[in-house]
Amino acid sequence: LYIPVLIYGSGAIADSMLEGTTVQAYLLLLGAFLIFTLVFSPWATAAAVRISSE
């Protein structure tokens, strides 16, 4: 799960240092990943517990 953070984080730093662009798009995408994870993690956790208890 940390791979998207590494990819988009390093992309944001590389673009801002080399081209002088803003990192807003990368940070918005990382924020979307965070919200997606926070919304769907309870269901994934419940499914994992249900499978492991069988």
Q: Look up residue 24 and give its amino acid.
A: Q
Would the pLDDT of 1 be above 80? no
17 pLDDT band, cuts 50/70/90, is: confident
The pTM of this model reads 0.66
Predicted pLDDT of residue 12:
82
Q: How far apart are CA 25 and CA 50, in angstroms?
A: 37
Give yes or no for a contact between 21 and 13, defined as CB atoms under 8 angstroms apart.
no
Q: Kindly give the residue spans of alpha helices, DSSP state H, lying in the chain.
A: 3-18, 24-53
Would the pLDDT of 13 be above 80? yes
Predicted pLDDT of residue 32:
92
pLDDT, tens digit, 9 for 90 and up, residues 19-53: 877 888 888 888 898 899 999 999 999 999 999 99
Give first-to-last CA distance, the chain, whole Å: 26
